[in-house]
């Protein structure tokens, strides 16, 4: 099987910051708005180099979304930045009414998503955001897996016309995708070829899926790993092609199993090609304060959990 090399752990939010800084130089229409978390969102370089295009809104996330929507009318491409919980749950009404309903070209960029926010605990660890955002008509939903992919996605969404939700995180995680990659919205990325089970992962769990595939390979099980960075629109063609071959699937995400990637895959299978599926996701629960790796272990969001689910789903094949 193909082995991917981790070039060094780095947080995905830094990939967003690097991409935004590059856009500041290349696209004069890009503007950035932040809700009092400039450092946490890695927006400092953009702010320092383009102060006339940076807007510190303060702890007023609803206002930030409304201002961003208005800026699009003048041809600007606004990137909003705050924690995922504040980017979605706190301002859902403003996103629905001012951005999604009228198809405004706002890029909603959300850091510190999921359990790996860590010590800040359940009030900040949103595990429902992918579901909230994918239900909005016309909203593109992206959840990247490493620094390089997050930077590439940030550059790509600036060229895309329409509202986008870009989700990334706080912890330092493996950086393993190509530095010069072309990010294609809505296109799955095949990481390994396999015949026994398909593992479809998104975000931080993509690297865990690759680690699980190595464990499975040592046991004589051939796993096909697919990186789904775009939750909506979902690459149903790639998913169905793989599952028709392997005849079973495990989905893995740092999100509630209700409303996330796994549920979208299940719907695709139900409508097109029913097959056994196991879920690696949080089980209709809130998170808690703790170190990121400890939380992922407690809630079953790691390579060990993916391996166990893969072995279980294979037994369910006809």
Q: Which of 141, 173, 205 lies at the terminal end of a domain, its last residue?
A: 173
Q: Is residue 183 part of a domain?
A: no
CATH number at residue 199: 3.40.50.920
Q: How many domains does the chain have?
A: 2
Q: Is residue 180 part of a domain?
A: no
**Are 159 and 210 found together in one domain?**
no
pLDDT of 282 over the 80 cut: yes
Using DSSP's 3-state secondary structure scheme, residue 44 falls into helix
- CA–CA distance, 142 with 315 (Å, rounded to integer): 32
Q: What is the pLDDT of residues 149-208, one digit of tens each?
A: 999 999 999 999 999 999 999 999 999 999 999 999 999 999 999 999 999 999 999 999
pLDDT band at 98 (very low <50, low <70, confident <90, very high): very high
pLDDT band at 318 (very low <50, low <70, confident <90, very high): confident
Q: What is the pLDDT of residues 210-223, one digit of tens each?
A: 999 999 999 999 99
Active site residue 61: yes
List 61, 208, 224, 236, catalytic entry: 61
CATH number at residue 82: 3.40.50.970
Q: Which residue range(s) make up the domain with 51? A: 10-173
Nearest Cα neighbor of 245 from 309, 317, 303 is 317
- Quote the pTM value: 0.97
């Amino acid at each position: 099987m193909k082995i991917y090399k981790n070039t060094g752990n780095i947080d995905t939010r830094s990939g967003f910051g690097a991409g935004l800084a590059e856009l500041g130089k290349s696209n004069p229409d890009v503007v950035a708005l932040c809700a009092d978390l400039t450092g946490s969102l890695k927006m400092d370089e953009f702010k320092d180099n383009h102060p006339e295009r940076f807007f510190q809104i303060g702890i007023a996330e609803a206002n930030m979304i409304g201002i961003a929507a208005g800026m699009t009318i003048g041809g600007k491409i606004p990137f909003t930045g705050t924690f995922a919980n504040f980017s979605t749950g706190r301002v859902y009404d403003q996103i629905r009414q001012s951005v999604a309903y009228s198809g405004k070209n706002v890029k909603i960029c959300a850091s510190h998503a999921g359990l790996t926010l860590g010590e800040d605990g359940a009030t900040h660890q949103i595990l429902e955001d992918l579901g909230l955002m994918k239900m909005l008509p016309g909203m593109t939903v992206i959840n990247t897996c490493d620094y390089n992919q997050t930077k590439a996605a940030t550059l790509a969404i600036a060229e895309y016309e329409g509202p986008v939700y870009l989700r990334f995180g706080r912890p330092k995680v493996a950086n393993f995708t190509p530095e010069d990659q072309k990010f294609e919205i809505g296109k799955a990325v095949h990481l390994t070829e396999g015949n026994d089970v398909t593992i479809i992962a998104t975000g931080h769990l993509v690297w865990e899926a690759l680690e699980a595939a190595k464990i499975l390979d040592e046991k004589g099980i051939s796993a096909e790993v697919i990186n789904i960075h775009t939750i909506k629109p979902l690459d149903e063609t790639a998913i169905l092609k793989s599952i028709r071959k392997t005849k079973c699937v495990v989905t893995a995400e740092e999100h509630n199993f209700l409303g996330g990637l796994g549920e979208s895959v299940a719907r695709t299978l139900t409508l097109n090609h029913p097959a056994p599926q196991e879920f690696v996701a949080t089980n209709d629960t809130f998170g808690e304060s703790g170190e990121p790796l400890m939380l992922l272990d407690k809630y079953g969001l790691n390579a060990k959990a993916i391996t166990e689910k893969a072995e279980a789903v294979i037994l369910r094949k006809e």
